[in-house]
């Protein structure tokens, strides 16, 4: 299947401001890109990419005084299969974990394992280790928190989400990640595209999504505490310890968000596909003139 995805984001800045964006499709999915525009900026500014400590593709540029608009559009091939599941997957002993996985056992900015260690063992310590324990954590978080865009707060931690019982997808992910780490199960934060493919359409405006991955039997598996069902068409942008490591935009100075649009949907393969140069020309006419 083919998935059409992209974004249009604009920020206003009172002065020239350095920016780092983490909006590139992850290297794992780069081979699946069938068509794409270049990342367009208005006004046009030079940009360059680099790879961060977690293997994510980051883009650096400077927004001029007044702000900048960035836009991207692509078509990605996807298997059309739901999230992989292995109910027999087991936990690994900490002493047997790969060195690069150990960091995902530790507390981080939004995942305070020290605050939730006691509750985690009380809630999940009696459960059989492995897939069943991770799924029980995800089930608990899904039931514990109420989702709503009006609940969004950039500074909410996992412990605060647990106490307040509300949040957005990042809060669901942070809480489940924290509980997993408390139980010595490596877990990491993921953000990316997740459209309404194979599920009823959500009337709310499209947004990027956040979920988690847990390390079982030597492999990372996707779990989604907000939706708590296998989904089709996840396209990863970035992975890290928590949202601190993978902000969509990080500005080194004040800014305000003036435009935020995201799209991700299944594109009919039988439909006529506009070539990339036509998309670029269309965007250039309306955005960059």
Closest to 24 in 3D by CA, of 59, 53, 48, 54: 59
Whether 240 is in a domain gets the answer: no
Q: What is the pLDDT of residues 191-250, one digit of tens each?
A: 999 999 999 999 989 999 999 999 999 999 999 999 999 999 999 999 999 999 999 999
Residues of the domain holding 138: 94-232
CATH of the domain at 136: 3.10.620.30
Instruction: Judge if the upstream peptide bond of residue 43 is cis by omega within 30 degrees of 0.
Output: yes
Q: What is the pLDDT of residues 54-68, one digit of tens each?
A: 999 999 999 999 999
On the question of pLDDT at 288 being above 60, the answer is: no
Kindly tell me the number of DSSP H helices and DSSP E strands found in the chain: 5, 15
Instruction: Map tokens 């993921």 to a residue.
Output: 190
Query: pLDDT value at position 268?
Result: 81
3-state SS, residue 244: helix
Whether 193 is in a domain gets the answer: yes
Tell whether 277 and 164 lie within a shared domain: no
Q: Which of 121-135, 253-267, 273-287 has the lowest mean pLDDT?
A: 273-287
In this structure, how many other beta carbons lie within 10 angstroms of the beta carbon of residue 285? 9
What is the rounded CA–CA span in Å between residue 137 and residue 174?
12
Q: What is the pLDDT of residues 138-197, one digit of tens each?
A: 999 999 999 999 999 999 999 999 999 999 999 999 999 999 999 999 999 999 999 999
Tell whether 136 and 209 lie within a shared domain: yes
Tell whether 98 and 228 lie within a shared domain: yes
Tell whether 210 and 119 lie within a shared domain: yes
Banded model confidence at residue 75, pLDDT cuts 50, 70, 90: very high
Whether 209 is in a domain gets the answer: yes
Specify whether the backbone of 173 is left (phi greater than 0), alpha (psi in -120 to 50) or beta: alpha
Task: Give me 28's structure tokens.
Answer: 């794992």
Tell whether 102 and 228 lie within a shared domain: yes
Banded model confidence at residue 269, pLDDT cuts 50, 70, 90: low
3-state SS, residue 192: strand
What is the rounded CA–CA span in Å between residue 33 and residue 72?
13
Banded model confidence at residue 279, pLDDT cuts 50, 70, 90: very low
3-state SS, residue 112: coil
Q: How confident is the model over 248-267, as a mean pLDDT?
A: 96
Tell whether 121 and 214 lie within a shared domain: yes
Tell whether 197 and 262 lie within a shared domain: no
Report how many domains make up the chain: 2
On the question of pLDDT at 275 being above 50, the answer is: no
For residue 88, CA distances in Å to 131, 181, 184, 212 come to 6, 20, 18, 19
Number of residues that this document lists for the chain:
289
3-state SS, residue 135: helix
Tell whether 67 and 122 lie within a shared domain: no
Tell whether 110 and 182 lie within a shared domain: yes
- This prediction's pTM: 0.91
Whether 238 is in a domain gets the answer: no
Is 172 in contact with 226 (CB distance < 8 Å)? yes
On the question of pLDDT at 281 being above 90, the answer is: no
């Amino acid at each position: 299947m083919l998935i059409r995805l992209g974004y249009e984001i604009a920020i206003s800045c009172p002065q020239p401001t350095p920016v780092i964006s983490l909006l590139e499709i992850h290297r794992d999915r780069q081979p699946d890109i069938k068509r794409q525009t270049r990342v367009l900026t208005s006004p046009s500014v030079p940009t360059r990419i680099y790879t961060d400590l977690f293997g994510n593709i980051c883009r650096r540029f400077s927004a001029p005084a007044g702000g900048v608009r960035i836009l991207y559009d692509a078509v990605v091939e996807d298997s059309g299969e739901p999230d992989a599941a292995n109910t027999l997957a087991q936990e690994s002993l900490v002493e047997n974990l790969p060195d690069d996985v150990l960091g995902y056992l530790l507390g981080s900015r939004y995942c305070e394992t020290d605050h939730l260690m006691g509750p985690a063992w009380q809630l999940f310590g009696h459960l059989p280790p492995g897939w069943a324990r991770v799924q029980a954590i995800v089930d608990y978080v899904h039931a514990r928190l109420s989702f709503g865009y009006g609940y969004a707060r950039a500074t909410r931690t996992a412990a605060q989400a647990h106490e307040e019982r509300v949040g957005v997808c990042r809060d669901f992910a942070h809480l489940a990640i924290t509980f997993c780490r408390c139980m010595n199960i490596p877990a990491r934060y993921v953000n990316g595209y997740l459209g309404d493919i194979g599920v009823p359409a959500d009337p709310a405006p499209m947004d990027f999504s956040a979920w988690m991955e847990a390390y079982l039997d030597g492999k990372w598996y996707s779990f989604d505490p907000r939706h708590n069902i296998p989904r089709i068409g996840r396209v990863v942008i970035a992975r890290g310890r928590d949202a601190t490591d993978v902000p969509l935009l990080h500005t080194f100075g004040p800014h305000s968000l003036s435009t935020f649009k995201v799209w991700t949907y299944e594109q009919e393969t039988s439909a006529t596909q506009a070539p990339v140069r036509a998309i670029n020309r269309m965007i250039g006419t309306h955005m960059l003139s």
